[in-house]
Amino acid sequence: MKRLFYILAFVLVSNNGLADIYKYTDSNGVTTYTNIKPEGNSKSELVISGPKSAEPSPVAREKKSSAKTPSPANFPKVDNQTQNQRDQKRRELLMSELDQEKQALENAKQLYEDAQNTPEVYRGANGKTFRNVAKYDEKLHVIEAEIQAHERNIELLNKELNR
C-alpha cells in the first residue's frame, strides 16, 4: 500500500503526471500503472486523466506572469532628487561601514601578530613550564577566521559600492 502511494505521488509530481494514467491487472494478477493504454483483452481503468487542451505548464505560466509590467497609475513614485538623496545616504552608510570593517581588520591583524609572538604556556606540578601548542593553534585559528570574515565583508562592501 505504501509502495502504491509513492508511485502515485511520483506520477502526480513528475511532468508525465499531465498524461492519462491507466491501472490494469494482467493475467498473472500483477497490477500495473502506466500512461500507455493497454491493448488486448485486459480490462484497464483510467485512474488520472490528463488535460485535454494544450495549456502551458504551470511553470511556463509563472515565468510568463513574472514579466515586467508597468506600475499602476496610483502606485507611489519618488522623484529623481529624492531618489538621489536616498542613494547618497545609502552610499554614505556603506562607506562608513567599510571604514569600520577596515579598522576592525587592522585590529584583528594586530591581534594575530601579537598572538603569534605570545606562545601559550602552562606550569606543571613540578614548576616547569610547558608550551600548550593546541591552545596556541586554536587561538590563531580563531583570529584567522575573524580576519577572513573582515576581508570578505570588505570585498562585499566594495562590490556593493561599485554597482
| The residue type at 75 | F
**d(C-alpha 163, C-alpha 159), whole Å:** 7
SS3 for 11? Answer: helix
* Average pLDDT per consecutive 10 residues, the chain (163 residues; last block may be shorter): 72 60 79 76 64 57 65 86 93 94 96 90 84 90 95 94 88
Residue 17's pLDDT is 46
Q: Are 136 and 114 in contact (CB under 8 A)?
A: no
Q: What letter would DSSP give residue 23?
A: E
Residue 151's pLDDT is 96
Residue 101's pLDDT is 95
Q: For residue 26, count CB atoms less than 10 angstroms from its CB and return exposed for 0-12, middle for 13-18, buried for 19 or more.
A: exposed
Q: Are 102 and 130 in contact (CB under 8 A)?
A: no
Q: What's this model's pTM, rounded to 2 decimal places?
A: 0.50
